[in-house]
């Protein structure tokens, strides 16, 4: 009898541990958002990716439709080559465009897809031709300062 109750307690201990791990994986981690659906790979070239990172979201109209698989540098065209893993259940026209957007003012960067009007869809291995680079804050500030300086010159004339 005593042996049995000891087994029960040890069993409970192990079950608690496994439950804690499941909690960490599902509730705290991103296991629940991992999808085992089929994905297809497409690529896009950007002049500047800003601080985009692998595993960043690919969104269309704000809905996550894929993830950034890898980012490499293409030394033929001197552009960043971004590979996107798109979820198989979402299809986009061939002339869709991709741009790198920022969540909030200084938040994480993600790839936004805007659907085009072509009748045939993007397939695995296709390339998105029309892309727009990340907005770099320093460039914006520079532009702002130059335009202010130009304004100042005109008004002083």
* Cα–Cα dist 61/53, whole Å: 20
Closest separation between CB of residue 35 and another protein, Å? 13
Closest separation between CB of residue 1 and another protein, Å? 15
Among 28, 78, 105, 156, binds another protein (CB under 8 A): 28
Comparing CB distances to another protein, the nearer of 105 and 149 is: 105
Binding residues among 50-109 for another protein as defined by CB under 8 A: 55
Q: Does 124 bind another protein (CB under 8 A)?
A: no
Q: Length of the chain, please?
A: 157
CB within 8 A of 94, min separation 6: which ones?
116, 118, 120, 121, 122, 126
Binding residues among 34-53 for another protein as defined by CB under 8 A: 34
Comparing CB distances to another protein, the nearer of 65 and 122 is: 65
In what side-by-side order are the strands of the sheet with 63-74?
A: 127-128, 39-46, 79-87, 63-74, 57-60, 109-114, 97-102, 130-132
Q: Look at residues 118, 66, 68 and name the one whose alpha carbon lies nearest to residue 93.
A: 118
Q: Does 2 bind another protein (CB under 8 A)?
A: no
The binding site for another protein (CB under 8 A) comprises 3, 6-7, 9-10, 12-14, 16-21, 23-25, 27-34, 55
């Amino acid at each position: 009898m005593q042996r049995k109750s000891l087994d029960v307690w040890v069993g409970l201990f192990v079950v608690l541990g496994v439950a804690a791990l499941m909690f960490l994986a599902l509730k705290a981690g991103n296991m629940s958002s991992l999808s085992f659906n089929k994905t297809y790979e497409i690529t896009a070239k950007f002049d500047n990716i800003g601080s985009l990172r692998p595993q960043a979201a690919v969104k269309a109209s704000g809905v996550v439709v894929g993830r950034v698989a890898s980012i490499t540098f293409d030394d033929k065209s001197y552009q960043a080559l971004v590979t996107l893993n798109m979820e198989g259940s979402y299809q986009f026209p061939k002339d869709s465009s991709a741009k790198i957007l920022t969540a909030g003012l200084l938040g994480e960067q993600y790839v936004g897809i805007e659907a085009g009007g072509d009748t045939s869809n993007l397939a695995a291995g296709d390339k998105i031709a029309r892309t727009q680079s990340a907005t770099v804050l320093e460039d914006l500030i520079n532009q702002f300062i130059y335009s202010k300086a130009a304004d100042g010159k005109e008004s002083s004339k």
